[in-house]
Amino acid sequence: MFVVTLITNPAIHLEPELVASLRNALGGGDAVWLNPNTAAEFTIPQAPTNFEDIWASLQAEGVDMVLQPQEGRRKKMLLADMDSTMIRQECIDELAAEAGVGPRVAQITARAMNGELDFEGALRERVSLLKDLDVAVISHVLEKRIHLMPGGPVLLATMKANGAYAALVSGGFTAFTAAIADRLGFDEHRANTLCAEGGQLTGKVTDPILGREAKVEALNDITARLGITPADVLAVGDGANDLGMLQLAGAGVALHAKPTVQAQAKHRINHGDLTALLYMQGYAATDFIKA
């Protein structure tokens, strides 16, 4: 048995007529409304062969569609990217803007996240452009330029209240992941470390670089430690360096992701916020825990 979950942006409404029409076309069971305005689900006996066509047509209506086996969809662990996933920004781009090299770094970031550039080389190149930036700028950027992605606090609070473990894994920097992990309630975080001397960034990052393979290693390490399997994990990210963990996890979600990532991820959320990750696990809005 499979579950079809339909999710919209909380700012708009999911039309009951659309849900009923799709349910009837797929021979589904009764629709269950997880949120009267935003999310609904129904079961179907088998996966439709024209899923991609249906998905594309719903995208034009501002609706995300997730199809997954009914069994085991509520996960025991959340493994999340940080930049443009748990927060709206790319931290290195915000630091670069303070250093006066914003457009140049942002261009490299966009290409690296779409898989057009080697992640490690692109990271080293961008960090080199931050040489001599005052370390105090990091605190300023965190306070003034970094904003949480909508739905993040509720996602963490709800999954953790239901026994899930949460890990933040980023190709960004520990100076940011430490703050975001603490703010959202992640159990642990992993990222790269910016090198500094005399209160200024040196333009280098410590080895080894945490990239695509390190995120996969984090998934394997943490699940082994917890005594669970990758099938028990919900992973979420937006960049090419997230693809390894997205493909290995039981539920890998490309959130407002780059085209290359969407093309290869199991699940895609383009309209909903981070609460979409709760709806796809079968949580109703009445189950949400306010952070």
Tens-place pLDDT, residues 50-106: 999 999 999 999 999 999 999 999 999 999 999 999 999 999 999 999 999 999 999
Query: In which band, very low, low, confident or very high, does the pLDDT at 187 lie, cut at 50, 70 and 90?
Result: very high
The tokens of 122 are what? 């692109």
| Predicted pLDDT at 160 | 98
Catalytic residue among 64, 83, 238, 242: 83
Q: pTM of the full predicted structure? A: 0.95
CATH code: domain 75-291 is 3.40.50.1000
Tens-place pLDDT, residues 255-264: 999 888 999 9
The tokens of 118 are what? 């080697």
Instruction: Give φ, ψ of 122 to 5 degrees.
Output: -65, -35
pLDDT of 191 > 80? The answer is yes
Tens-place pLDDT, residues 136-167: 999 999 999 999 999 999 999 999 999 999 99
Instruction: Give φ, ψ of 179 to 5 degrees.
Output: -70, -45
Query: In which band, very low, low, confident or very high, does the pLDDT at 118 lie, cut at 50, 70 and 90?
Result: confident
242 is catalytic: no
Task: Say which residues have a Cβ less than 8 Å from residue 275's Cβ, sequence separation at least 6.
Answer: 10, 38, 150, 151, 154, 155, 285, 288
| Predicted pLDDT at 129 | 94
Mean pLDDT of 25-37: 96
Task: Say which residues have a Cβ less than 8 Å from residue 194's Cβ, sequence separation at least 6.
Answer: 127, 130, 138, 173, 174, 175, 201, 205
Task: Say which residues have a Cβ less than 8 Å from residue 135's Cβ, sequence separation at least 6.
Answer: 196, 199, 200, 201
Nearest CA to 249 out of 281, 270, 275, 223 is that of 223
Distance CA 94, CA 61 (A): 33
* Comparison of pLDDT for 183 and 118, the residue scoring more: 183
| Predicted pLDDT at 155 | 98
- Sort strands 63-69 and 2-8 into parallel, antiparallel or unpaired: antiparallel
Q: How high is the mean pLDDT of the chain?
A: 96
pLDDT of 291 > 80? The answer is no
Percent of the chain with pLDDT over 90: 92
Catalytic residue among 81, 93, 238, 273: 81
Nearest CA to 1 out of 51, 42, 45 is that of 45
The domain 1-71 having CATH identifier 2.40.10.220: the answer here is no
Name the DSSP class of 241.
G
81 is catalytic: yes
Query: In which band, very low, low, confident or very high, does the pLDDT at 39 lie, cut at 50, 70 and 90?
Result: very high
Count of residues for the chain? 291
Which sequence spans correspond to the domains of the chain?
1-71, 75-291
